[in-house]
Structure 1
Amino acid sequence: MKKVILISMMLMCAVCSASAQTWRYVNTLYGVNVRDKPGLDGKKKFVLKCNQRVKLLEETKEKFKIDEFEEPWCKIQTEDGASGYVYGVYLSKTLNDAASFRCYEALHPLADWLEELAEEFTATMYIDKDMHNISSFSDESSFSVQGNGIKYIFYPTKDEKTGKTGAYLLGVRIYENHAMPKDFPIKLGDSMEKVRDIFGKPDGDNFYFGDEVIKAYEGFGNVCFVEMVIFERDDSVAGILFRLSPGF
């Protein structure tokens, strides 16, 4: 399996049959390894591509926790007859569900990324790590700092216990590609068709900002929602805003 999953598991479990005509779609942008038996110790046989359709043959009765997920292992068969096992989290019932997973996959790490960016300002201002201390979510109370191809958007904070005031980095707007998060799947200048292929339809309503159309996508972050706002011009990505949206 792809990514940062380094643990190995020996699975001694029964499997239950799935409907012979149950189809699943590979949801992860980077593809997923198919193994010869359920478990991370299974030998890698081949790789399934993003959005590839496979037939679900069986899945384990028991679910297994890997990282933040807890899913069964699934025995699948490709349309050309190859078979093997895939961890269930990387299979979706529909293409729309697969796109929603990619929103999660891409946006989930950005809360940590924003926190890392905030560290750049520790020498000049007090950066509050507790989102609960934000004193106002009004745009009128926010302030911004221009960087190299990026605008940092801060909101004031006040710790009720100590009375200490500071700032929380709630979002950034990207103007140049070198400021984008590392390995993010889309860049400025990409077509909106590519954005839709990866992330599906926006979660939020479209509205206009000058000559730009704004389209919003949302996914779970580590401690809150992470919203990606696409600024579209001439059917391409003109800018991207990454913004945290507290879940409280």
Structure 2
Amino acid sequence: MGGILDLLVVAAHPDDAELALGGVLAASHAAGRACGVVDLTRGERATRGNPERRIEEAQRAAEVLGLAMRDNLALPDGRLEATPEARERLAAVIRTWRPRLLVGHGAGDPHPDHDAAARLTREAWFLAGLAGPDGQPAHRPPRRLCFATPRGRRPDLVVPIDVTWLTKLEALRCHHSQVEPGADHRLGDPDPLREAEVFARSLGTLIGCEFAEGLLLDGPTTCVDPLLL
């Protein structure tokens, strides 16, 4: 199984990709791009929900966003580390799906799993440029970015998502166990959908649109991938 993806997002938990890039993923699908998400953990330590329910929610969200693939590595939630085994497993996914653009968490995020995911993604990206131990052909995506978060640094790239904002919301609502008002949610807001809207609107003001999502450059880049314009 495998193929070629235009965009692969690596997320620590099953709802992180939707929160950060749901609008971009939906817009990319609408433009005929093949997109995928790799969730590193099942979010089993979340206050609400359980691993089975969270995976079901993630798959429903994947259908809403039109993802070509969604995988879960089932690494330990709350104890995520860039171990050699985890690094090789993620590198194998990258080699299999051969994305043109890889996007993951940014370093320095206050959530330890997010910070660990940033390191794991960066190291797996490099390792994927080498042939796998089973002879799997090497593939290092030519571009790698990080997604912006409400508590991270100001984004380097801001992408308008006015036309896909409602699709992003629909995908987020698929994660009902996590976004229902009053949940003890990791974002620290009793209504995560409200916080997502506030953040998207704040980014939108930077470029004169209503809603937007942000990306960070992780080192030098020669150009911005057209699917993000």
Rg larger in 1 or in 2? 1
Structure number having the greater strand percentage: 1
Structure number having the greater helix percentage: 2
